[in-house]
Amino acid sequence: MELPRTAPCVVVGGGIAGVALAAHLARLGMEGVVLLERESGLGEGATSRSAGGIRQQFADPDLVRAARATAALLATFAEETGVDPEFRAHGYLLVATEEARAVRLRAEAAAQRAAGLEVDHLDAGGVARRFPCLSVGDVAGANFCPTDGYLSPHGLVEGYRALARRHGAVVVLSREAVSLEVRGGRLRGVRTAAGVVEAPMAAVAAGADAGPLLAAAGVRVPLRPTMRRLWFTRPLPGLPRDLPLVLDLDRPFYFRPESGGALLSLAEVEEGGSAEPPSPGDGSLPDRLAERALNRCPLLGDARILRAWWGHRTLTPDDRPVLGESPEVPGLWLAVGFGGHGITHGPSLCLALAEEMALGAPRLLPLDPYRPGRPSLAAAPPPPGVI
């Protein structure tokens, strides 16, 4: 696709945030939005490397609200976009093995239920009765939300791509934004190796690489790209396919069924990134992963690794994404810092952001908790809910 010379808005980055934003801007009537992606396909960053989990259980009520809004959008996604993202509402089971964590989970379940989310707090016996294939000897308590689940991130991206194209957005692949054009104190366009797209608005949704692009335009956002690994196993015939995503919070580990096998992760925060993908090696699970997997689900004792990969989780100090117009550069919008939950929060929050950009105000959700200038971004406590 040839690069347009002008556009009403350029969206930089074709992961879930960028493609959802471009689709919603186009659908809301912004004609000729340009979506720039440096890779040869959409979703090749963190998005396609994710576990595709849609989790509505968070300690932060704003994140619960955003996740619930995405769950609601998924109900009509296939009809609206023509692509089924294969959402399976098999739930999320959050497991505590320490008493203090179980007490917190119980309080969170009560608050989430009061806000309208269906969440049960279970003791070890309750977990064993619902999910007999799990070992519960060390379980102090667990929360289960049956309307959580998981989907195909590829389906989600493809649906938004189709919606964007149908409403006249221009998707330009293999084209990197090398800089943001700022003149007279405001955004004027986006520069690529093939020339500048002049635009009064640009939105940066460049995931882990957003920081340097923004900083070069004078906009500093405290983004911390961290790394997360996933392992995908060969088929495990005995593993029930309708299990929830099971997340151990105290000895971090999660797994969920996938294509007859399972996706597994140590659910740990590792700094930076690595040029090397983790190797499936001889198919054995790494020791720590094997130990945690076996501890929670004996059926995973037969797991053999087929593929392994890693991706970025771009964290912020208060563990919320950063959304809205930059106070430093009018016309420059941010959709960054989705951390470990961009598949869950990206669809709804990028719709609200598109509403603000196209219509002047967000309608689906308030964006105040996510503003670039909020004090909690500067305060920099360690992110609380990064698991």
131 or 232: CB nearest ligand FAD: 232
Structure tokens belonging to residue 315: 């964290």
127 or 266: CB nearest ligand FAD: 266
Full 3-state SS string of 254-320: EEEEECCEEEEECCCCEECCCCCCCCCCCCCCCHHHHHHHHHHCHHHHHCCEEEEEEEEEEECCCCC
Structure tokens belonging to residue 263: 């996706």
CB of 100 to ligand FAD, least distance (A): 25
CB of 157 to ligand FAD, least distance (A): 9
CB of 96 to ligand FAD, least distance (A): 19
CB of 38 to ligand FAD, least distance (A): 4
Nearest to 305 by CA among 327, 290, 288, 317: 290
From residue 317, alpha-carbon distances to 63, 88, 141, 342 in Å are: 15, 31, 28, 16
46 or 352: CB nearest ligand FAD: 46
**How many residues are recorded in the chain?**
387
19 or 140: CB nearest ligand FAD: 19
131 or 160: CB nearest ligand FAD: 160
CB of 123 to ligand FAD, least distance (A): 26
Alpha-carbon torsion 167, 168, 171, 177, what sign?
Answer: negative
CB of 173 to ligand FAD, least distance (A): 9
Structure tokens belonging to residue 69: 């809004």
From residue 339, alpha-carbon distances to 20, 208, 307, 342 in Å are: 17, 9, 23, 6
Q: Which spans of this chain sit near ligand FAD (rule: CB under 6 A)?
A: 12-18, 36-39, 44-47, 49-53, 176-177, 205-209, 213, 228, 230, 311-313, 338-344, 346
40 vs 51: CA distance, rounded Å: 22
CB of 336 to ligand FAD, least distance (A): 6
345 vs 325: CA distance, rounded Å: 18
255 or 338: CB nearest ligand FAD: 338
70 or 112: CB nearest ligand FAD: 70
From residue 227, alpha-carbon distances to 20, 35, 175, 372 in Å are: 23, 26, 25, 23
Spatial contact of 77 and 85, defined as CB atoms under 8 Å apart? yes
CB of 377 to ligand FAD, least distance (A): 17
47 or 124: CB nearest ligand FAD: 47
